[in-house]
Structure 1
Amino acid sequence: MAEVPFIAIEGPIGIGKTSLAKKLSNHFNYHLLKEIVEENPFLGKFYDDIDEWSFQTEMFFLCNRFKQLEDIDKKYLRANKAVIADYHISKNMIFAKRTLQEDKLEKYEKIYQILTTDMPTPNMLIYLNASLDTILDRIRRRGRNIEQNIKASYLAQLRNDYEDYMNAFEQLHPDIPVIRINGDTTDFVQYQKDLDCIIEKVTNHLHLRVE
């Protein structure tokens, strides 16, 4: 039996992960897994003072994502039901390495390794990225109050961190296809043709998996 599709979408803050996940979920009739963001009680404080609130913020995200993936595995993947997620739990280490001081990072990484040892791994990744100007514009347009204090310098660092991470991911996991989408030239929210192009790429990879 072919492995049930489990697709994760990744990329920096504001790039459009959830919007694309919703559209692909509707098109393919896959269960949609959305990460918990605004429910994090530490996030607003984090954007005001990263050093002070980074550990609490990252631990909240890690524990919630662990619980979400545990539930998804039991209720959907093991029941051979396809899932599309607007995140990959390994993103936690991207943020942790950027925001946590060395002593706290060491503690965090130990907990991360314990929690994620048996987590289901996506068998396809969609990576969205764009220039800093595009990312800032999209954050402004979606208008989340909690994100208005994000520093442009932090987003620029995060964008570069994602590039490094994805390059390393492709080397470490050559068996997991990565579809790269340039957010500067692709707007799948406003233009159906851009969305259709992404759908075609995903469909082609799905067909390759079952051949």
Structure 2
Amino acid sequence: MIYRFITIEGNIGAGKTTLAKMLGDRLKARLMLEQFADNPFLPKFYENPRQYAFPLELFFLAERYQQLKNMFAKPDLFAEVLVSDYLLMKSLLFARINLLDDEYHLFHRLFDIIHPQVPQPDLLIFLYAPVARLQQNIKKRNRSYEQHIPDEYLFKIQEMYVQFIRQQSLPTLMIDVSDADFEHEPEQFEQIVHALDYEYEPGVHYLSL
């Protein structure tokens, strides 16, 4: 395996955790999954975004940072690969969408202190799906507090991610999952696994399933 630290990113409902678990199992890798259910502000945020956005994003940033620090402080000698279903940078991207300007500037200062302290992935996998498909996936997984996420919010996240992907320098494999079902279509999952055999230059590379 060329890559030792693989991170999977994408919009809400893109299939990040599903793919991370499948790759973790196939590669016999350590798995680092976001503990979003531990964030007590998440259901409250969807009910009242303005009131709970700042504590929501602070909690996520602290939890993600602590999880990354703990993971790399105790390397598992029997598992050479680490697969994660989030990138720490997502904290800043979501903060830009959810916070007022003065809140965002403060959050950005905190992020700039934390971000250099955690390793960056060797490969970023970005799952792209249109908003209509994201909404289908969100409905299917049936988390109560997600059932009324407006399309507009998902579009904002999508735009923010696309802008970030174009500007960043990590080797990035963008996978179009608009019509994909890699969980139930083995050949699609094998395409993804096969794509990990290639060494990618910094920048964006594309894979359609």
Q: What's the TM-score once normalised by structure 2's chain length?
A: 0.90
Q: From 188, 199, 211, give the equivalent of 2:193.
A: 199
- Give distance in 2, aligned partners of 1:190 and 1:85: 21
Report the Cα offset of residue 118 of structure 1: 1.5
- Give distance in 1, aligned partners of 2:2 and 2:78: 11
Report the Cα offset of residue 4 of structure 1: 6.4
Gaps of 5+ in 1: 207-211
Moved more, 123-132 or 68-77: 68-77
Per the alignment, residue 24 of structure 1 pairs with: 23
Report the Cα offset of residue 78 of structure 1: 8.8
Give the secondary-structure state (helix, strand or coil) at the position aligned to 2:68.
Answer: helix
Maintained 8 Å contact 1:76/1:82: no
Maintained 8 Å contact 1:4/1:81: no
Per the alignment, residue 136 of structure 2 pairs with: 137
Gaps of 5+ in 2: 201-209
- Identity within the alignment, %: 30
Matched, 1:167 2:166: yes
Report the Cα offset of residue 90 of structure 1: 0.5
Maintained 8 Å contact 1:134/1:183: no
- Give distance in 2, aligned partners of 1:179 and 1:187: 17
Maintained 8 Å contact 1:4/1:77: no
Per the alignment, residue 180 of structure 1 pairs with: 174
- Give distance in 2, aligned partners of 1:201 and 1:158: 26
- Give distance in 1, aligned partners of 2:194 and 2:161: 24
Report the Cα offset of residue 80 of structure 1: 7.7
Report the Cα offset of residue 81 of structure 1: 3.2
Give the secondary-structure state (helix, strand or coil) at the position aligned to 2:57.
Answer: helix
Which structure shows the higher helix fraction? Answer: 1
Give the secondary-structure state (helix, strand or coil) at the position aligned to 2:117.
Answer: coil
One-letter amino acid of the counterpart of residue 126, structure 2 = Y
Per the alignment, residue 7 of structure 1 pairs with: 6
CA-to-aligned-CA distance 1:182-202 (integer Å, 9 cap, x gap): 111322112111100000001
One-letter amino acid of the counterpart of residue 158, structure 2 = R
- Give distance in 1, aligned partners of 2:185 and 2:38: 30
Against the structure 1 CA distance between its residues 77 and 105, is the aligned structure 2 distance closer, same or farther, given a 3 Å change threshold? farther
- Give distance in 2, aligned partners of 1:100 and 1:69: 24
Report the Cα offset of residue 63 of structure 1: 0.2
